[in-house]
């Protein structure tokens, strides 16, 4: 088969759709051979073994859903956007700002693959080992070693690069880029709906159909018909609620602290001179000298398997943290602010006296996000702001049209927390010995907050 | 604290309910300290790492839910049954066949723990290694080594045995036993609802509230008010549909075949004299000489981790099967019946000529079940039949009251399938060399069935 | 505007879809001017004032939904079928059995209008007054007096007749006819989903998306891809359940009996010589001499308004029945069969002695239906049987492929009931006087059945 | 039966619950004879004939649900609140601020009956005829003529007054009053859920279970455990969204304008000296001299029946408005503000020149509400503010704990609109004659707003 025929073969519709049943979106329709082949690569199948929300399943027990399922969802929502655009806004001539359906394949592939570089318990892993899932996604797509690259190359020799550039936001059609990356993109829409479904949190169920219906292409990318104002508004509120109730949940963050300290401890032990602690699959990462293949071998189950073995380690910290993680014994936490932050060293001192190394048994973490932000040229995260198009073609920025959104625009939501062993509040052993320490510690904690104790 | 106080402490309501959000049941209310402590044991937390439906998640990508989540669900449904019984049918005097609420704690503990002995990819694992999750459940509850036993013992010295006997169906109160094990029990009700929710299969959503409302205790155990006929009927149909569409799905069964052959191959290699292939966590099982602790170390992720390593094995069969499993390359299959079963050796011969060892690359599997069965003294599975109670207290067996149920009573549903490598239908290499073999093979397969080829 | 332009204007897509939010189907998309104009006619708006399920709302209080909402739903499902057909099975040459999208407009109009002739409390009304909603639907579409005819005529001079012939099942394209009238048509699919949603009965929620996905055109009309077997099977079961639990509910039927006797009594009084009881809007119907306009003036609210006034009638039967209807005091009922039918005259005699005229205070009613039937050339209702198409194009009749469907094929479901005043069971006045009568009567009733009393 | 026995009979649980299936709340459980008897009164059954949302069903076609269904819902939510309170917060001694379950019956009756005085298309009707549904509710409960009073009196001689005083907010137990009337009461919770369900608007689905779970009694009435903050926050947002998207929908308001002008015109015609236009059921209201019975005869269907007859009136305004209402031809509208309000007389002048009497064919309407308000002693509507109780018993007002709520606290939401005939924008006749008028008029309207036209 020559290149031209192959391309057509790959990008032409399949005779019958291949359908995946999806609890959130109903059905996922695969209409092109290239998408089916991408799904069947080892690199993509690996996403079945990486949970979408990491340690959140330890708080919301239903949230075992995977990056695999999310990636299919982002693909499907992108497909629906393309369908709507093609039906209602097909381009008539170059530069008219309408939708050119020959962009469909690149958009669908980018949507499907945008998360393919995610590692085990991804955010924690990245943080500790300085890996970067976005770079790895680029590599998986463009490196000649991967099956994904092989499949993409059959569409065209420069096709892998084009797909990578969409994910990288350097692709020249802003409509395609914004489908995947903007404040109302297929990625966020899928994760809000999915995370809401699998956690049972009820707060992320915005009206997807209505948003798809009012979404439209224009020369600057993607905007929304003004009649969709309330649907967008509700989406922003849902996002806000999901951050507050799910993504920033203190117990999940506490389990992340434990996970991260556990990996940090393991790395230290493994890199010690003459150590015979050499967890084979992790060594390349510990030594910061790993191939793509090394990276792709690690998933959530591999880490858990090491933790199971480390429970019996002779290192008491490694063993204890592994048990806390596997048996789900979270640290406790308390909120602090600028006024109380100075107390933390004092508290760490008490904790140390009670027998816990603060390096491994305490942490601070702040989780903040903005539910919606208008364009700010200085911002690191340049999220395109949300634009509404009135009947006469005029654009209005969302917060100008919605009192509710204006009220929350640019607001940072979240909190700063200090994490410490629950034994400081509910001692389980050595109770008598350490009671004075516990008593002192508890003076600093009130109703989930660090406080400055009253003078006696 | 003395025993009496302790007992009361453990069985008395908590000051505030501890609530788990559950996508299927809304909320799970933990009202007693003993339940909370059981949930927090390492043995119970381990259930988070065992998928409820094993290889089914490879067909229905949402179905990543765990035995942990199912166990909480069975607990919660049992709790609701107890609440209804206590409210509407409290016993007035011994032997009146009504509900004695002092049975609540034993019922709740048994509900929570009924699956605690499940192993990794449980049914496959059991089949290959002749382990038995029911026996192990009994052991976990009654063995002095476990934390679960420790928690249960605080309710009373014989309490672990009582809980075990409920699961074992030897407990003397048939109401308690039937809550957990009967044709309409908390176990089945939870798994139908959950499996329907997480697969997205839509077919298991019977009316739980209505069933709970018409369920009632009587001297023989549990029956249903006759006005609930249609709700029960619909539940039976839902079960029927879930078997056909989810539990017997040929692709999940195909992946189970691969999993099982992969483990069989690994065991053979490990037990070969002088082998240096010794997967440490699995050796006790391979050698059929394992402690409870050995058993409990293994979960789905541990198996997957071995498979990841085995991909690079020098044994070509082990390596190939590991890749097929991880990368989800199912075998194909075709239905056969008594008329066509004789063809299988012939087909295995062709497959062998094409380079696949039939021992590892073919299998037969039959999956059958009865959606509802009336009592049969000769049956191996003595399911109590479903009884309806009329207003005057008279009992009527379900299929006598429902034409629909009568139509499907005692019917075996399912099929027999022969599994073989998909290469026999879609060759990927050596195409020319083996083409005559492939051609011959394909004469025997038509529309998903084995057929006797027509003479030329 | 000349005819050609007009036609194009009417049948071409609207610039923006007009969208109706629908709780059951999500959104209803109006894409053509002719549909929007039909919805805005007085004849179509009148359907807002006719409940879909008549007296059923007196049993299921949520079921207040209207023929208007149902008609929009049938339109929308038809639209989705057309979209799928056009996307996956567009005709290439005449006679290839695939979908010709120029049939879309006639299909959509027929779907929208198929029920437009329904009268107030339609089935009861028809039964008593011998009106026929199907004939009236034809008239509304083809009579020059109506706005509906005016709108349709703008598509083309013969267009009203074409639309009428689809509803009449004489249209020459069987695909179009079967979309609206067959065992799995848009009409039934909408009413099962809607009636399930608004009653809350939970039993009608089959998987619409999946059915639409496997539905396909062929030369004989519409069939289903064989892979959709289970979705169709489940649909049949849902229909079965809805009949048993909603459509045949004895209390709704009892209220229908009262309604029908009330209207019969009113007609008798109005037609009595020299009567001055002349309910103006009803007289044309009573006298069986009514124009289309007379007919269309009557809706559920008009009948109720008369009942409100009749409560104060001097005729004790009219007044009493009106109160029973408005205040929802249903008759009681008991099932009977061939063995017990002979008791009915005896019971009517007792009832008459207790002071109730049996003509108005008793009734028999049988409600039976078949959840699925194969083709029977002798059957009055010639429902096209359901055909599955295998991969090789072969057709298999549904009950040949499904054990469950085979079990219920051709089965009549329902019961025969005898209705009588609840006072016969729970006397409210003259208790002492009539007690012996009540006692005698109650000997014949046991557990919702007529019985032959035991000899003393 | 003497009073004491009767009371017990009425207030003691029924042997079996009477259950209503409800699409929104699942099931409604009637546990006491008095509730069942109240439901069966003519005054309560009448609520089946009054739509919950009046003209809103003309915008959202599913919203045909009734005051009957809403009243059952408020009852059921109140019942669940009582169950939770009784289970978790039973009073131990007088004045401890906990729940006294002997208040249950009065709370349930008040919940069920709180809307029983609502009239046809209630708010419009009240506005035009100066009736007051709250006063009439009191009358229905306390007047000796009604069956509701008769049923309530059987609980105790002063029981009707007690029920009335709960609705009137003068009852001495603030917990009971706040269940029915406060910012998070059973009334609002039911209507948000129901209106969301039947409109399909998706925006009102807050987490009822969670709110019930954190709701608790205290000495000041009802507050919420602080852990429920997010559930309350989400409820406030849902309410906000429902106001914006459903309750203030401009088309529903437009249909209300037409309804109100139609009734106003009818009253004028009926009260003209020597008029023979005397719609019998409405005359007592028109003449402002009506009995309770007169009032209760009128429902939505009665009004519609008059409108059907008035279509043929000789009065062109009455006839035209009746058609506009029945055929759903809403007025158009445009928003105005303090800057543009002065234009309205000018526009009315143009409209009058175009042949429409501005008194009947134009209107202004402003719809504003606050999604949440803190306590304001000067406010007319003294809504108790929402209080959160921290673990130590401390109370915090909601907006102090929630940034989102603070952002919208006290904000008036809504708009002011000027309504006019759609012919001014889309003339249907006399087009040429009036074209200059239409052209002039349209200069003042832009993107749904009144504007000051630019000078030429």
Q: Which parts of D200-340 fold into alpha helices (H)?
A: 208-214, 229-242, 250-271, 283-286, 292-296, 300-310, 316-326
Report the residue of chain A nearest D412, measured CA to CA. Answer: A403
Cβ-proximal residues to C456 (8 Å cutoff; 6+ apart), any chain: none
Nearest-Cα distance to chain C for B337, in Å, is 16
Average pLDDT over every residue of D74-97: 94
- Contacts D88 to B, Cβ<8 Å: 16-17
What is residue A1's predicted lDDT score, i.e. its pLDDT? 36
ipTM reported for the complex, 2 dp: 0.94
Binned at pLDDT 50, 70 and 90, residue A268 comes out as: very high
Residue A439 has pLDDT above 60, yes or no: yes
User: B446: pLDDT confidence band, cut at 50, 70 and 90?
Assistant: confident
- To the nearest 10°, the Cα dihedral for D47, D50, D51, D52? -50
Could you report how far apart the first and last alpha carbons of chain D are, in Å?
A: 86
Q: How confident is the model at residue B12 (pLDDT cuts 50, 70, 90)?
A: low
Q: How confident is the model at residue D151 (pLDDT cuts 50, 70, 90)?
A: very high
In tens, the pLDDT along D267-276 reads 999 999 999 9
Backbone CA torsion sign across D425, D429, D431, D436: negative
Chains sharing 3 or more CB pairs under 8 A with chain A: B, C, D
Q: For residue D451, what pLDDT band results from cuts at 50, 70 and 90?
A: very high
Residue D94 pLDDT exceeds 80? yes
pLDDT higher than 60, residue B375: no
Task: State the average pLDDT over residues C419-424.
Answer: 95
Q: Which residues pair with D18 in a beta bridge?
A: D30
Give the best-scoring range by mean pLDDT among A87-91, C402-406, D310-314: D310-314
What integer pLDDT is reported at residue C454 of this predicted model? 79
Distance from CA of A425 to the nearest CA of C (A): 48
Q: How confident is the model at residue C374 (pLDDT cuts 50, 70, 90)?
A: low
Q: Is the pLDDT of residue B273 over 60?
A: yes
pLDDT at C238 (0 to 100):
87
Summarised one tens digit per residue, pLDDT across range C65-92 is 999 999 999 999 999 999 999 988 999 9
How crowded is the C-beta side of C395, counted as CA atoms within 13 Å? 13
**Cβ C200–D309 below 8 Å, yes or no?**
no
Q: D331-369+413-456: what fold?
A: Growth Hormone; Chain: A; (1.20.1250)
- Mean predicted confidence (pLDDT) in D89-107: 94
Rg for chain B, CA atoms, rounded: 25
Instruction: From the options 2.60.40.10, 2.102.10.10, 1.20.1250.30, 3.30.420.40, give the CATH code of C250-330.
Output: 1.20.1250.30
As a whole number, mean pLDDT of residues D216-235 equals 92
Interchain contact, D209 vs B27, CB within 8 Å: yes
Residue A4 scores a pLDDT above 90:
no
Subunits with 3+ Cβ pairs within 8 Å of B are A, C, D
Dist. CA B77–CA A61, nearest whole Å: 17
Asked if C413's CB is within 8 angstroms of B408's CB, the reply is no
Evaluate whether the domain defined by B250-327 bears CATH number 3.40.50.12780: no
- Model pLDDT, residue C247: 92
Query: What integer pLDDT is reported at residue C2 of this predicted model?
Result: 45
User: Per-residue confidence at D1, pLDDT binned at 50, 70, 90?
Assistant: very low
Contact: D447, A233; criterion CB under 8 Å? no
- Tokens representing A74? 């982002």
More confident call, B427 vs C100: C100
* A93: exposed, middle or buried (Cβ count in 10 Å: 0-12, 13-18, 19+): exposed
- As given in the structure block, the two tokens for residue C167 are 């509803």
d(CA D388, CA D184): 12
Q: Given an 8 Å threshold on Cβ–Cβ distance, is D302 in contact with C301?
A: yes
B233 interaction partners in chain C (CB closer than 8 Å) = 241
Helical H segments across B41-145, by residue range: 42-45, 67-88, 104-113, 122-129, 133-142
Mutation target for D interface from B12, B16, B211: give the one with most D CBs within 10 A.
B16
> How much is the average pLDDT of B209-223?
94
The single residue listed with the structure tokens 């014989």 is: B158
CATH number attached to the domain at C332-371+413-456: 1.20.1250.30
Helices (H), D327-430: 344-353, 358-361, 398-401, 403-408
For chain B, what are the domain ranges?
3-248, 250-327
Per-residue pLDDT at C412 = 77
Q: Determine what percent of chain B is predicted with pLDDT higher than 90.
A: 72
Partner-chain residue, chosen from B23, B42, B327, that has the shortest CB–CB distance to A200: B23
Rg for chain A, CA atoms, rounded? 25
Q: How far is CA B294 from the centre of its chain?
A: 22
What integer pLDDT is reported at residue D434 of this predicted model?
A: 82
Lowest-confidence pick of A271-285, A367-381, C348-362: A367-381
Question: C381 pLDDT exceeds 50?
Answer: no
Evaluate whether D21 touches D61 at the Cβ level (below 8 Å).
Answer: no
pLDDT for residue D381 is more than 60: no
> For domain A259-330, which architecture applies?
Up-down Bundle (1.20)
Q: What tens digit of pLDDT does each residue of A210-264 get?
A: 899 999 999 999 999 998 898 898 899 888 889 888 999 999 999 999 999 999 9
Q: Would the pLDDT of A382 be above 50? A: no
CA torsion C39-C45-C47-C49 (nearest 10°) is 150
- Give the mean model confidence (pLDDT) for residues D442-450: 90
Residues from chain A contacting residue B305 (CB–CB below 8 Å): 281, 301-302, 305
pLDDT reading at C455 higher than 70: no
- Give the span between the Cα atoms of B104 and A63, in whole angstroms: 30
Looking up tokens 């709507």 gives A84
Among C305, C306, C310, C324, the residue to mutate for chain D (most D Cβ within 10 A):
C305
| pLDDT average, residue stretch B99-113 | 97
d(CA D84, CA D330): 46
Handedness of CA A261, A262, A263, A267 (dihedral sign): positive
The confidence band for A383, taking pLDDT boundaries of 50, 70 and 90, is low
Answer whether CATH 2.20.25.90 is correct for domain B3-248.
no
Q: Do B237 and C233 lie within an 8 Å CB cutoff?
A: no
With a CB cutoff of 8 Å and minimum separation 6, the contacts of D403 are A408, A411, A413
pLDDT value at residue B112: 98
Instruction: Please report the pLDDT score of residue D77 as a whole number.
Output: 98
Task: Note the pLDDT tens digit of each residue in A64-81.
Answer: 999 999 999 999 999 999
Report the C-alpha gap between A447 and A430 in whole angstroms: 26
Look at residue C80 in the predicted model and tell me its pLDDT: 96
Across D39-51, average pLDDT: 98
- Are D3-248+373-408 and D331-369+413-456 equal in CATH topology? no
Contacts 24+ apart (CB under 8 A), A345-353: A346/A444, A347/A418, A347/A420, A347/A441, A347/A444, A347/A450, A350/A424, A350/A437, A350/A440, A350/A441, A351/A420, A351/A421, A351/A424, A351/A441, A353/A434, A353/A437
Chain A, chain D: beta-carbon pairs less than 8 Å apart: 50
User: Residue D31: helix, strand or coil by DSSP?
Assistant: strand
Taking only the tens place, the pLDDT of each residue in A121-162 is: 978 888 888 889 999 999 999 999 999 999 999 999 999 999
Pick the CATH number of A332-370+415-456 from 1.10.10.10, 1.20.1250.30, 3.40.50.300, 1.20.1250.20: 1.20.1250.30
* pLDDT at residue D412 tops 90: no
Q: How confident is the model at residue D58 (pLDDT cuts 50, 70, 90)?
A: very high
Q: Do the Cβ atoms of C120 and C302 come closer than 8 Å?
A: yes
Do A120 and A91 meet the contact criterion of CB atoms below 8 Å apart?
Answer: no
Q: Answer whether residue B38 shows pLDDT above 90.
A: yes
Longest Cα separation, chain D:
86
- Measured between beta carbons, which residues in chain B are less than 8 angstroms from residue C203? 207, 230, 234
pLDDT reading at C137 higher than 60: yes
On the question of pLDDT at B397 being above 60, the answer is yes
D69: chain C residues, CB-CB within 8 Å: 61-62, 64
- Is residue B7 scored above 90 in pLDDT? no
Percent of chain C whose pLDDT exceeds 70: 94
What is the structure's pLDDT at C30? 94
Partnered with residue C418 across adjacent β-strands are C334, C364
Beta-carbon count within 10 A of D377 CB:
5
Neighbours of chain C (3+ CB pairs under 8 A): A, B, D
Mean pLDDT (whole number) for D433-437: 85
Q: Which chains, if any, share at least 3 CB pairs under 8 A with chain D?
A: A, B, C
Per-residue confidence band for B455, with pLDDT thresholds at 50, 70 and 90: low
pLDDT band, very low/low/confident/very high, at B8 (cuts 50, 70, 90): low
Among C105-119, C267-281, C285-299, D413-427, the least confident range: D413-427
Q: State pLDDT tens for residues B237-251.
A: 888 889 888 999 999
Contact across the interface for D213 and B26, Cβ inside 8 Å: no
- A85-97: average pLDDT: 92
Report the pLDDT averaged over residues C347-376: 86
Nearest CA to CA, how far is B142 from chain D (Å)? 34
Q: How far is A63 from chain B (nearest CA, A)?
A: 8
Q: Render pLDDT for C306-324 as a digit per residue (tens, 0 to 9).
A: 999 999 999 999 999 999 9
> Which of A55-59, C191-195, D55-59, D119-123 shows the lowest per-residue confidence on average (mean pLDDT)?
D119-123
Burial class (CB in 10 A: 0-12, 13-18, 19+), C327: middle
pLDDT of residue D279: 96
Class (C level, CATH) for D3-248+373-408: mainly alpha
CA dist., res. A224 & res. C316, Å (int): 64
* Average pLDDT for D355-371: 89
Instruction: Mark yes or no for CB contact C209/A26 under 8 Å.
Output: yes
Instruction: Give the helix ranges, DSSP H, for C131-249.
Output: 133-142, 147-153, 159-167, 174-180, 186-199, 208-214, 229-242
Over residues C152-169, mean pLDDT:
96
């Amino acid at each position: 088969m020559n290149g031209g025929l192959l391309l057509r073969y790959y990008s032409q519709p399949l005779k019958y759709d291949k359908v995946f049943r999806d609890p959130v979106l109903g059905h996922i329709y695969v209409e092109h051979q290239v998408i089916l082949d991408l799904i069947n690569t080892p690199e993509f199948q690996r996403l079945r073994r990486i949970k979408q929300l990491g340690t959140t399943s330890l708080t919301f027990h239903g949230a075992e859903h995977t990056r695999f399922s999310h990636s299919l969802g982002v693909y499907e929502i992108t497909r629906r956007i393309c369908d709507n655009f093609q039906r209602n806004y097909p381009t008539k001539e170059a530069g008219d700002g309408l939708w050119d359906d020959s962009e469909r394949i690149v958009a669908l592939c980018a949507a499907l693959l945008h998360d393919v570089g995610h590692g085990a318990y991804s955010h924690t892993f990245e943080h500790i080992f300085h890996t970067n899932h976005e770079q790895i996604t680029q590599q998986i797509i463009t490196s000649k070693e991967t099956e994904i690259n092989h499949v993409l190359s059959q569409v065209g020799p420069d096709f892998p690069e084009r797909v990578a550039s969409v994910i990288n936001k350097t692709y020249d059609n802003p409509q395609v880029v914004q489908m995947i990356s903007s404040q109302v993109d297929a990625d966020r829409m899928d994760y809000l709906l999915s995370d809401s479904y699998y956690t049972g949190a009820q707060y992320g169920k915005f009206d997807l159909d209505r948003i798809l219906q009012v979404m439209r292409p224009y020369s600057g990318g993607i905007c929304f018909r003004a009649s969709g104002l309330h649907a967008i508004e509700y989406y922003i509120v849902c996002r806000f609620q999901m951050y507050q109730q799910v993504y920033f949940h203190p117990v999940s963050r506490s389990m992340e602290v434990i996970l991260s300290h556990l990996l940090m401890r393991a790395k230290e032990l493994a890199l010690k001179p003459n150590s015979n602690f050499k967890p084979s699959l992790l060594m390349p990462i510990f030594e910061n000298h790993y191939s793509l293949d090394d990276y792709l071998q690690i998933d959530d189950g591999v880490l858990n398997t090491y933790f199971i073995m480390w429970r019996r380690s002779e290192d008491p910290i490694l063993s204890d943290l592994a048990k806390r993680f596997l048996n789900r014994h979270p640290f406790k936490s308390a909120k602090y602010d600028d006024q109380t932050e100075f107390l933390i060293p004092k508290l760490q001192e008490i904790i140390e006296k009670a027998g816990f190394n603060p390096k491994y048994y305490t942490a601070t973490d702040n989780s903040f996000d903005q539910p919606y932000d208008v364009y700010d040229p200085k911002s690191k995260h340049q999220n395109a702001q949300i634009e509404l198009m009135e009947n006469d073609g005029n654009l209005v920025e969302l917060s100008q049209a919605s009192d509710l959104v204006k009220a929350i625009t640019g607001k940072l939501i979240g909190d700063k927390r200090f994490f410490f062993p629950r034994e400081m509040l509910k001692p389980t052993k050595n109770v008598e010995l350490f009671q004075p320490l516990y008593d002192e510690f508890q003076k600093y904690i009130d109703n989930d907050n660090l406080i400055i104790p009253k003078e006696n």
